[in-house]
């Protein structure tokens, strides 16, 4: 700090010299040796005279172009919608009530995901050894189908054998409680 730009520059140099003499490492690419009223910091434009944060022109033009491209499409994929929401979310630091402007788009994204599931590119494709018993759908490995298979081939036969061993009626209800993949919370969870 200083009363003039020259005094501020001198104070910065003096501070840097003292820090170096104490053994601190100065990363020159991360400091601003000359005073400036505006600077870019963490992709935001910081103005020290008006005490404001704003987004850079590059970021704003990128968002505007993407919005124009988005509006003129006949159909939009969930991935495109998620990309646009990511861009809009990135300006929340400077646009304080930013989420209010795209809340409906967020709801739409959640509706798409709940109706169609996640994108088929949420993981790369791999081949697993057969003995691993890992099923694969367009969305996941070890998914709901795997857990249903696990229930039908391991849990239900076990419950039936315990019923038989204890002499219980086959209609005696049983509940297998386990947290692994939360399979007991699935809509298609078989009753045993």
- CA dihedral 46→50→55→57, nearest 10 degrees, is -100
Q: 9 falls in which pLDDT band (50, 70, 90)?
A: confident
Distance in angstroms (rounded) separating the CA atoms of residues 33 and 26: 11
Asked whether the predicted pLDDT for residue 128 surpasses 60, the reply is no
Arithmetic mean of pLDDT over the chain: 74
Asked whether the predicted pLDDT for residue 136 surpasses 80, the reply is no
Q: Which residue has the higher pLDDT, 115 or 84?
A: 84
Q: Which residue has the higher pLDDT, 92 or 189?
A: 92
Asked whether the predicted pLDDT for residue 117 surpasses 60, the reply is no
Q: Which residue has the higher pLDDT, 46 or 2?
A: 46
Backbone angles phi, psi at 24, to 5 degrees: -75, 145
Q: pTM for the full model?
A: 0.43
Distance in angstroms (rounded) separating the CA atoms of residues 186 and 24: 56
**3-state secondary structure string, 61-77?**
HHHHHHHHHHHCCCCCC
* pLDDT for residue 22: 93
User: What percentage of the chain carries pLDDT values higher than 70?
Assistant: 71
User: What percentage of the chain carries pLDDT values higher than 90?
Assistant: 5
* pLDDT for residue 18: 93
Q: Which residue has the higher pLDDT, 86 or 121?
A: 86
Asked whether the predicted pLDDT for residue 120 surpasses 50, the reply is no
Asked whether the predicted pLDDT for residue 26 surpasses 80, the reply is yes
Asked whether the predicted pLDDT for residue 21 surpasses 90, the reply is yes
* pLDDT for residue 156: 83
With beta carbons less than 8 A apart as the criterion, state whether 100 and 91 touch.
no
Asked whether the predicted pLDDT for residue 181 surpasses 70, the reply is no
Burial 145-182 (b: 16+ CB within 10 A, else e): ebbbebbeeebbeebeeebeeeeeeeeeeeeeeeeeee
User: Where are the domains positioned within the chain?
Assistant: 1-35, 57-116, 130-185
């Amino acid at each position: 700090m200083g009363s003039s730009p020259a005094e501020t520059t001198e104070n910065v140099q003096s501070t840097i010299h003292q820090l170096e003499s104490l053994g601190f490492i100065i990363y020159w690419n991360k400091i601003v040796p000359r005073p400036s009223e505006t600077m870019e910091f963490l992709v935001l434009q910081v103005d020290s005279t008006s005490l404001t944060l704003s987004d850079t022109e590059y970021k704003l033009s990128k968002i505007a172009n993407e919005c124009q491209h988005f509006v003129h499409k006949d159909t939009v994929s969930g991935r495109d919608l998620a990309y646009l929401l990511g861009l809009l979310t990135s300006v929340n630091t400077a646009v304080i009530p930013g989420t209010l402007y795209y809340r409906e788009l967020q709801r739409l994204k959640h509706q798409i995901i709940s109706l169609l599931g996640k994108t088929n590119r949420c993981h790369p494709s791999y081949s697993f050894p057969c003995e691993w018993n890992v099923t694969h759908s367009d969305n996941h490995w070890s998914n709901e189908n795997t857990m249903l298979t696990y229930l039908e081939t391991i849990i239900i036969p076990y419950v039936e054998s315990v019923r038989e061993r204890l002499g219980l009626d086959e209609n005696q209800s049983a509940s297998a409680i386990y947290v692994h993949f939360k399979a007991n919370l699935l809509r298609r969870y078989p009753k045993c």
